[in-house]
Structure 1
Amino acid sequence: MFSDYLRLGIDHILDTEAYDHILFVTVLCALYDPSLWKRILVLVTAFTIGHSLTLALSSLDLVQINPSLVETLIPVTIILTGIFNIYSVTISDKHHRMVMFNYILALGFGLIHGLGFSNYFKAILGKEESVVQPLFAFNIGVELGQIVIVSIVMALAFVVLHLLKIQKKYWTIPVSLFSIVVATYLLSK
């Protein structure tokens, strides 16, 4: 049972047909240099904590939000993160403070993304006696899936920033703009 929910968590993040998570994690990481991998790990963990919290609360029927509202808010989180990134790299004197604020955004936006999966998760839980073990396994899977995405994004960032020696803003801005465009398309669907 543990491995089933672990796999579900990994699949939830890496599912190319539900690419909103891949896009969100990508744009979330676009602001960082690969040398800051510890900060990036904390950042995606903050997202997982928010995701886990609302998933748990929803699984226990303590929180219920209109699914269509949540499906609208998910692309909005991607758009806002992209805008935040662009603003952050263009305001160099406050960049450090802006990056720290990104942790708060990751946690808050994780809350929204967790709600987006909650109905499906409740359906697959069915009549499980406890949600603790499935939820724990699922969240470990989510974190592992995010680490895969982060590794790919940071490998690309390393090539762009360190091998090609392109300024960080010329990495961050195009990745953020691409994410904004795709998320805007998701909103229009």
Structure 2
Amino acid sequence: MLDDSLLYLRLGFHHIADLAGYDHILFVAALTIPFTRRDWKRLAVLVTAFTVGHSITLALATLRLVQVPSALVEALIPATIVATAALSWRTGSPGHEHEPVSVGRYLMATAFGLIHGLGFSTYLRSLLGNEESLVLPLLAFNVGLEVGQLLILAIVVGIGALLVPRVLSRRVWVITLVSATGGLALLLLSQRLTALG
């Protein structure tokens, strides 16, 4: 039982941290870019909102209580990254650096989490096969996702702390990373919309 839980925990971690499936990494990076270590409370609110959203749909879709075509979900995921990158651009602009997180942004992060949870569930369902109980694998997988998500968050904030303001201004840091994540997401969105058509 413990071995199975550890297996699913590792699978959850590797799924979000897998460079081959970089869309989830891009989302967490886009969410994190404009924040510094001093903004940990504001960032915690957004990450918690995203976690709540993806935990709900991960559970519902894995238990087959909700079913959405995977091609549609795969197209929606890069759209959430583009929107998040655009908001991060504004958050990192002069005069907006330390604004409180609005209720609307919290709800947006939750809604985007719902979409990403559907994407995670497709992978998890393929792993579960004929497992008798889904509760422990689902919980362990979700914990693994969270550990991976926190690692990505720590890396982005840590690199930002090393570079800003010694090497780059905060504005240049935000614009560079937001442009990179948003551009990659637009490319991914274009590919996935083509596959849908």
TM-score normalized with structure 2 length: 0.86
- Separation in structure 1 between the aligned mates of residue 113 and residue 141 of structure 2, nearest angstrom: 15
TM-superposed deviation, 1:130: 2.1
Equivalent residue of 2:130, what SS? Answer: coil
With 17-26 and 118-127 compared, the bigger mean Cα shift is at 118-127
Structure with higher helix content: 1
- What are structure 1's unaligned runs of at least 5 residues? none
Would the alpha carbon gap of residues 9 and 101 (structure 1) be closer, same or farther in structure 2, given more than 3 Å must change?
Answer: same
Aligned pairs (5 A) from 1:17-96: 17-90=20-93, 92=95, 96=99
Partner of 1:181: 183
Output the amino acid matched with 1:62.
L
Query: Which has the higher mean CA deviation after the structures are superposed, 11-20 or 172-181?
Result: 172-181
Alignment deviations for residues 129-182 of structure 1 (CA, whole Å, 9 cap, x no partner): 22211111111101110111111101111022243462x332222211111100
Q: Which amino acid aligns with 2:48?
A: T
In the superposition, relative to structure 1, how do residues 87 and 13 fare at CA in structure 2: closer, same or farther (>3 Å)?
Answer: same
Task: Look up the match of 1:116.
Answer: 119
1:171 to 173, 177, 180: 173
The more displaced of 136-145 and 155-164 is 155-164
Matched letter for residue 174 of structure 1: T
Q: CA deviation at 1:103?
A: 2.8
> Secondary structure of 2:149's partner?
helix
Please report how far the alpha carbon of residue 12 of structure 1 lies from its aligned counterpart in structure 2 after TM superposition.
0.9
Identity %: 45
Query: Quick check: 1:59–1:122 contact (8 Å CA) kept in 2?
Result: yes
Is residue 74–residue 112 contact of structure 1 (8 Å, CA) maintained in 2? yes
Name the amino acid aligned to 1:63.
V
Matched AA of 2:151 = V
Residue 98 (structure 1) shift: 5.2
How far apart are 1:65 and its partner, in Å?
A: 0.8
Whole-angstrom distance in 1 between the partners of 2:97 and 2:183? 26
Instruction: Please say if 1:131 is aligned against 2:134.
Output: yes
Change (3 A) 1:178 1:104: same
Listed as ranges, the gaps of 5+ residues in structure 2 are 192-197
> What number of residue pairs does the alignment pair up?
188
2:42–2:101 Cα contact (<8 Å) kept: no
For residues 91-127 of structure 1, give each alpha carbon's deviation from its aligned partner in whole angstroms, at most 9, with x where no partner exists. 7369625566433222211110111122221121122
